[in-house]
Amino acid sequence: MDKTAPTPSRAVADIPTGATLAVGGFGLCGIPSALISALLDQGTTGLSVVSNNCGVDDWGLGLLLGAGRIAKMTSSYVGENKEFARQYLAGELEVELLPQGTLAESLRAGGLGIPAYYTPAGVGTSVAEGKETRVIDGREYLLEHAITVDFALVRAAKGDRHGNLVFHASARNFNPVVAMAGRVTVAEVEELVEPGALDPDEIHLPGVFVQRVVEAPPDQREKRIEKRTITENGAA
């Protein structure tokens, strides 16, 4: 089955206002920037977004946030976005913070059809408020529920027309589990290849989890550094 979409805009055209959305990436590494930009141009609003973070003020999910398109964020880290803090403190943005491992496992569980699981992460903290707990072998655990979403947006280094994906190094990060959790998963790829061009042993995510593939246009493949540290002599 050829799952390719002609443009990022066409790939996200049916994401409606109020949709739940999971977005891959860690910081600005491995984020589906072309799909995010297309969604911004489309004008979709009222989104409930699940992602490790919310980008920075002028890039990634920060673009949607700054335009007032996000109603709720479920994340594990939000420290690089001043607009995020402003909206939260002003009561304009609903925020759910989860331990990073819990976020990853909840997405993975959603993709595998596991409705809930027990974890020790968050016991005795505000994360545990209102959640069921259970003592197993003398240790207390929280019941965390799986995360599934209407749409998932991910980025890969290579993909074929069947949706099989290959990620590059640390850009893999949250992308595979995000893709698994989406009822409709859209993957932007830096290089689109024909079926059979990928060695089966190099495929990180099989196409069964992907419904659409689009090749990112050359002018939308920019990769930014989230936070640059400079030494005294000016070297990065």
- pLDDT of residue 109 exceeding 70, the answer is yes
Q: Is the entire prediction scored with pTM above 0.85? A: yes
| Helix (H) / strand (E) containing 82 | helix 82-89
Strand 165-166 to strand 47-50: parallel, antiparallel, or no bridges (unpaired)? unpaired
CA–CA gap between residue 72 and residue 49 (Å, rounded): 6
**More reliable by pLDDT, 99 or 81:** 99
Residue 178, C-beta contacts closer than 8 angstroms, at least 6 positions apart? 22, 23, 24, 50, 51, 107, 152, 153, 154, 185
Is residue 49 helix, strand or coil?
strand
Structure-block tokens of residue 127: 């994360």
Q: What is the dihedral of CA 229, 80, 100, 214, to 10 degrees?
A: -90
pLDDT tens digits, one per residue of 176-198 = 999 999 999 999 999 999 999 99
pLDDT at 235 over 70: no
Give the pLDDT mean for 74-89. 92
**Beta carbons of 68 and 93 less than 8 angstroms apart:** no
- What is the DSSP-derived secondary structure letter of residue 29? B
Tokens 């920060």 found at: 62
When pLDDT is cut at 50, 70 and 90, the band that residue 234 belongs to is low
Instruction: Say how far apart CA 180 and CA 176 lie, in whole Å.
Output: 6
- The full set of domain ranges for the chain reads 8-218
For the chain, the average pLDDT equals: 95
CA quadruple 162, 168, 171, 176: dihedral, nearest 10: 30
CATH of domain 8-218: 3.40.1080.10
Q: Which residue has the higher pLDDT, 28 or 80?
A: 28
Paired tokens of 48: 């409930």
* Burial tier of 168 (Cβ tally within 10 Å: 0-12, 13-18, 19+): middle
